[in-house]
Structure 1
């Protein structure tokens, strides 16, 4: 059983990651914290809470994080995720309240009282986690590892060589990558392989439960963002769920330990992750970088997770 805090910016693929975490018997979701990324911080909070209400997990504490990146203006993902950040589905009104403390303090509260080390899963910009690491030095030893969705080796989805989460707050990503805490990085190289094919999305639409109804609508809307020939995908890539999927079964991934540095100053490359795949530099490896995934296993995991809500 992996005890985790999910720091996210829902976001369609964040919603799928959250759903898998709730459904999995191998994951103990201790809290959800939200960041500014796909939408502003107040909206990502409003998105996380209805999702937990939908899945009948109002017991999981939720807190909102920083309103903007550490040093930059916020870039939002409206072009991919719509005005609400979760366009494409009707969500229930949340029937519980968020915590009256910032995300960093909810993290601190859990890490200071939980009896086991906790994994931080970051599917949005690294802002909240960077702030936590900077303020609560005494709790770093309570973190088992940090699993991050972000970056890419020679790939970009927001700029030619930059991935959205890292580009939103590269200074925060740099702090986290240089923290000395064990890091697992799920970059675009593996994310682009984690695709749901059209026939698999059709299977989701045939599942009869409220979670399936919402997830099907979200997938349909999100798929429109990739309906462009320059992507040349056969299916719909789901970035964020790769983090939770790795925790459930790391044997379904191929990975390599590499040094990962974050570019913060480049005129054309700010936000790029410089992944030393061939160990050309003398920099010590600081991350386990995921490069390949068993696509069929991943698709089955998504579908089976949605099906599980028929019996909950």
Structure 2
């Protein structure tokens, strides 16, 4: 576990982004420098508001942390949302706080560029949505990939998809952005469906969240219970998968996961496989191993960390 970790959070909140960001704010070893919203689970305008709500939920831990609106659409494709999974607002819970303040006027991409350049070699960027903001930053500032400590991305899979049989949502929502980031000279850790689908918010775990006795635990449980209905119907699971929280945990404690370096390509051709992350598990292509891919997870230790950290919030 790192002792001090300056972090930028980029995502499309979305209920599991919200739980992930609460984990980041609740972790004393992190210094969250800012939060940037991108299109994805909900339209950008709703995602920006949701970002303000999550910061308010985090209380004093998020005091003074700025947040920013980013890209409202993919680089080339038509946009998509996942409101059928996350609800119309993306945060399906009652009694949510109002944002304490609004977003900054600066564009998210400009903020990312400015902040990384001011902290060379130090920042971990945790991306829990489509990679549009990150790809735009890399295109506008070609020096940026060499200045980041690493990018940890919840996206892709070594196997199946979830939005289509082949593609995970964050990869499908902007495959061209994912291609740019995965082929940039920046260390990338990919936390995909092959591991996140092992981390399920079961009814017992929801009760443990409620038993924390704080608002963060109660709201997290309420949102994840909404999510569980989709997962029971679609996958036959007992609860929703903790996709984005696992990516934050991977940045904090990479030892919770097993990693394998491999070549990862993103399918850009329109058709049944668009957005698929093609992972060369066995090195059959002899292509450069450009990504550290999570291939295993200590699910119990991960949830223990999540529970302990969320318990420290209001």
TM-score by length of 2: 0.95
Residue 166 of structure 2 contacts residue 274 of structure 2 at CA under 8 Å; is this kept in 1?
no
Residue 230 of structure 2 contacts residue 240 of structure 2 at CA under 8 Å; is this kept in 1?
no
> 1:65, CA displacement in angstroms?
0.6
Backbone CA RMSD of aligned residues: 1.3
In 1, Cα distance between the equivalents of 2:220 and 2:63?
18
Partner of 2:167: 162
Instruction: Say whether 1:92 aligns with 2:97.
Output: yes
Matches within 5 A, 1:36-47: 36-47=39-50
Moved more, 172-181 or 139-148: 139-148
Select the residue among 255, 263, 267 that pairs with 1:251: 255
Partner of 2:18: 15
Residue 195 of structure 1 contacts residue 299 of structure 1 at CA under 8 Å; is this kept in 2?
no
> 1:141, CA displacement in angstroms?
2.4
Number of equivalent positions: 309
Select the residue among 22, 25, 28 that pairs with 1:25: 28
Runs of 4+, deviation exceeding 6 Å = none
Residue 36 of structure 1 contacts residue 44 of structure 1 at CA under 8 Å; is this kept in 2?
yes
Partner of 2:83: 78
Structure 1: gaps of 5 or more residues? none
Instruction: Say whether 1:260 aligns with 2:268.
Output: no
Partner of 1:300: 304
Which deviations, in whole Å up to 9, do the C-alpha atoms of 1:165-187 show, x marking residues without a partner? 00000010000011121110001
Moved more, 140-149 or 278-287: 140-149
Partner of 1:288: 292
Residue 58 of structure 1 contacts residue 96 of structure 1 at CA under 8 Å; is this kept in 2?
no
Which deviations, in whole Å up to 9, do the C-alpha atoms of 1:91-126 show, x marking residues without a partner? 111121211011101112211223652111110000
Residue 39 of structure 2 contacts residue 73 of structure 2 at CA under 8 Å; is this kept in 1?
yes
Select the residue among 54, 60, 64 that pairs with 1:59: 64
In 2, Cα distance between the equivalents of 1:215 and 1:36?
22
Which deviations, in whole Å up to 9, do the C-alpha atoms of 1:144-170 show, x marking residues without a partner? 111111111221101001100000000
